[in-house]
Structure 1
Amino acid sequence: MDISKKAAVKKYFLEPTALVPNSPQPLLHYSGLLKDKCNPVNINEQFDKNEWRTQWIFRYGPTQESHYHSRIHECMVVLSGNATIRFGVADTSDDLEESTYRGACEQGGVTIDAQAGDVFVIPAGVAHKTHNTSPGAPFALLTPGKGRGIEATNPKGALEKIKLSGFTMMGAYPKNCGTWDFSVGGEDVGNFEATWSVAKPEKDPLLGAAEQGICGQWKDITLSKRQDKRAKL
């Protein structure tokens, strides 16, 4: 699956907030990269080739808590449906109606309309919240296990059996880097630097060594400027 020639990347640099570390590396959005190619089996093979590991396929409900992963980078591929994803800010209310539709969230961030074929590469620390999903369907984990790996003797066979409905995404993380945590904001205040220092993977999850992916878009960083900004919050 050679898709690097058609990859057009959008970059979003998200500054730290009072509750969320975000990252010196940009959020990457490959709009429509896998349009008409949303086959979980083929995508999983590409992840594996580039040393990333599929951990889940979720069908999303109407909304969710804003959250981030403090010690691991993430790739999300939209397999079906449409949704809105808000990046870069924490919820400021436990009430999902308030935090999704009535402005109970931090100021800033970016909101992106997502559709089947879109790919997001999310640096460790960048908050994200998926909502306004369509077609409407209840939340469900579609892969066998607990969402931290495909727990099946034949992962390919398990992926082949999945029937997509509603808004679904497939998530992968660099191999040998553990599994994701679920931080909603505030957990790492005073230690954002640990999240900013998570190592850059050697390859992009789908584009490998191509310059359009993280190999060209994520740079070696120094933390001094970001530490200065954090001190002013």
Structure 2
Amino acid sequence: MLSKTPTEKIVHILISDDGIFPNNGRLPLLLYKGTIELPARDPARVVEELFDSHRWSGSWRNGIFGVHHYHSTAHEVLGVTSGKARVQLGGPTGSIYKVKIGDVIVIPAGVAHKNLGASLNFRVVGAYPDGQNWDMNYGKAGERPQVDRNIARVPLPEQDPVFGENGPFTELWHI
């Protein structure tokens, strides 16, 4: 079930190219704090169904990698289904955020993310907009300029992964 999400619970930040990680200076990363109230039983299923109902599919269940990485061919959403973690967004000089159960991170193509430490029970459900296939990049030599071209071609998703057609995402993400 969804809780009401006042605007002050939505963090949106533009993360620019740092010379190693392309990040995304056009679309802000969105962090929805405490957005989803989850049941004790099978919370991941609830998040998967929510994302899928808004055309974000290809879901998976796991943690967040403990290495800086990004996707140049797809946007990504991560919904925290248990535990808590410290996540760095934007590469080694990026900001660090604490996330916990019920939080959702909408990551534009190109934005680096890394798990800096988490509780033993930390889990997320990840998904991608329908029709987008993700790749893996680590800020290594030779990735650019191809990944920059890829990022520029990634289309906007049709809906906000949490709120659907009329969510905050639709006001904050546009080209």
Answer with 1 or 2: which has the greater Rg: 1
Q: Choose the corresponding residue for 2:152, options 187, 192, 196.
A: 196
Secondary structure of 2:123's counterpart equals strand
User: Deviations 1:96-130 (Å, cap 9, x if unpaired)?
Assistant: xxxxxxxxx4xx31110111111000001000001
8 Å CA contact retained: 1:15, 1:22 = yes
Matched, 1:173 2:132: no
Going from structure 1 to structure 2, the CA distance change for 1:208 and 1:131 (only over 3 Å counts) comes to same
Could you tell me how far apart the structure 2 residues matched to 1:29 and 1:167 are?
A: 17
Could you tell me how far apart the structure 1 residues matched to 2:112 and 2:71 are?
A: 8
Q: Which has the higher contact order (CA 8 A, sep 6+)?
A: 1
Could you tell me how far apart the structure 2 residues matched to 1:177 and 1:59 are?
A: 21
8 Å CA contact retained: 1:73, 1:174 = yes
Q: Which portions of structure 1, spanning 4 or more consecutive aligned residues, are displaced by more than 3 angstroms?
A: 35-38
Secondary structure of 1:117's counterpart equals coil
In the other structure, the counterpart of 2:81 is 79
Could you tell me how far apart the structure 2 residues matched to 1:54 and 1:32 are?
A: 23
User: Deviations 1:34-85 (Å, cap 9, x if unpaired)?
Assistant: 144572222222212111114210046xx61110011000000111111110
Q: Choose the corresponding residue for 1:120, options 84, 101, 105.
A: 105
Q: Residue 2 of structure 1: CA displacement?
A: 5.0
User: Deviations 1:119-176 (Å, cap 9, x if unpaired)?
Assistant: 0000010000012111x3xxxxxxxxxxxxxxxxxxxxxxxxxxxxx11111011112
Residues paired across the two proteins, number: 168
Q: How much is the aligned-residue C-alpha RMSD, in angstroms?
A: 1.9
8 Å CA contact retained: 1:25, 1:218 = yes
User: Deviations 1:158-216 (Å, cap 9, x if unpaired)?
Assistant: xxxxxxxx1111101111222x2220003432241431331110101111112412x11
Could you tell me how far apart the structure 2 residues matched to 1:120 and 1:59 are?
A: 13
Q: Residue 13 of structure 1: CA displacement?
A: 0.7
Matches within 5 A, 1:190-229: 190-191=145-146, 192-213=148-169, 215-220=170-175
Going from structure 1 to structure 2, the CA distance change for 1:37 and 1:196 (only over 3 Å counts) comes to farther
Could you tell me how far apart the structure 2 residues matched to 1:176 and 1:10 are?
A: 27
Which has the larger strand fraction?
2
8 Å CA contact retained: 2:90, 2:112 = yes
Relative to the length of structure 2, the TM-score reads 0.87
Runs of 5+ unmatched residues, structure 1: 90-104, 137-165, 221-233
Letter in 1 for 2:17: P
Secondary structure of 1:12's counterpart equals strand
Letter in 2 for 1:45: E
In the other structure, the counterpart of 1:66 is 68
Relative to the length of structure 1, the TM-score reads 0.66
8 Å CA contact retained: 1:80, 1:115 = yes
Runs of 5+ unmatched residues, structure 2: none
Going from structure 1 to structure 2, the CA distance change for 1:117 and 1:2 (only over 3 Å counts) comes to closer
In the other structure, the counterpart of 1:21 is 22
Percent sequence identity over matched residues?
32
